[in-house]
């Protein structure tokens, strides 16, 4: 078998980009990482809607409950930072959780400007039923645990890059 000839370096192709794709390919929908993430997010949303129906939670409410189940009482600001949500989005979500009897909001005795959120007994008890949700989601992905962990690591690096200095993080 004859080895293939070594390619000779020539002038750069003006129609190729740093990605290696020709300019004509760059605007194809299936080459857009943002669209792949958007489509996956929408698909996850549907699976989560179904999985959370029995708990009576929306996906954003579930995320807030995860923070409280993991860390206990939290300032609204800390929950917002953890979930990357502003107070305009978070406050109505927490009001609905409070109306459902899952959390209680109150002014911090140390700082009257700060509002703290804590679980009610019903909110704490809901955690036992919520344990099934990650199992349902993992099953729906069709991925193995190591694949999910690797995906989370890549997405974490991507988020850090996109939220980096000067890019409007926060």
Domain harbouring 106, CATH code = 1.10.10.10
Burial of 170 (0-12, 13-18, 19+ CB in 10 A): exposed
Structure tokens at 59: 């996906």
Q: Is residue 12 part of a domain?
A: no
Q: Is residue 11 part of a domain?
A: no
Structure tokens at 152: 């989370």
Contact in structure between 40 and 34 (CB atoms under 8 Å)? no
pTM of the prediction? 0.79
Q: Is residue 8 part of a domain?
A: no
Number of domains in the chain: 1
- Strands annotated E in 12-168: 74-75, 103-107, 115-119
Q: Is residue 142 part of a domain?
A: yes
Contact in structure between 85 and 60 (CB atoms under 8 Å)? yes
Q: Is residue 18 part of a domain?
A: no
Q: What is the CA radius of gyration of the chain?
A: 23
Q: What is the pLDDT of residues 118-130, one digit of tens each?
A: 999 999 999 999 9
Distance, CA of 15 to CA of 12 (rounded, Å): 9
Q: Is residue 4 part of a domain?
A: no
Other Cβ atoms closer than 10 A to 94: 23
Per the model's pLDDT, the better-predicted residue between 18 and 119 turns out to be 119
Q: Is residue 170 part of a domain?
A: no
Q: Is residue 137 part of a domain?
A: yes
Structural domain boundaries enclosing 81 = 33-155
Write down the residue that tokens 């899952």 correspond to.
Answer: 102
Q: What is the pLDDT of residues 63-111, one digit of tens each?
A: 999 999 999 999 999 999 999 999 899 999 999 999 999 999 998 777 7
């Amino acid at each position: 078998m004859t080895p293939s000839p070594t390619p000779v370096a020539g002038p750069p192709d003006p129609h190729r980009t740093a990605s290696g794709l020709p300019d004509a390919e760059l605007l194809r929908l299936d080459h857009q990482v943002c669209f792949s993430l958007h489509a996956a997010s929408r698909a996850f949303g549907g699976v989560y809607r179904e999985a959370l129906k029995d708990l009576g939670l929306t996906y954003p409410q579930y995320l807030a409950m995860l923070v409280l189940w993991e860390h206990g009482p939290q300032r609204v600001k800390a929950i917002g930072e953890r979930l990357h949500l502003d107070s305009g989005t978070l406050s109505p979500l927490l009001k609905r959780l409070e109306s459902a009897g899952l959390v209680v909001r109150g002014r911090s005795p140390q700082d009257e400007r700060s509002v703290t959120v804590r679980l009610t007994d019903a909110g704490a008890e809901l955690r036992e039923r919520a344990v099934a949700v990650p199992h349902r989601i993992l099953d729906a992905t069709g991925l193995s645990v190591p694949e999910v962990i690797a995906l989370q690591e890549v997405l974490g690096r991507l988020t850090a890059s996109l939220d980096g200095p000067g890019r409007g993080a926060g």
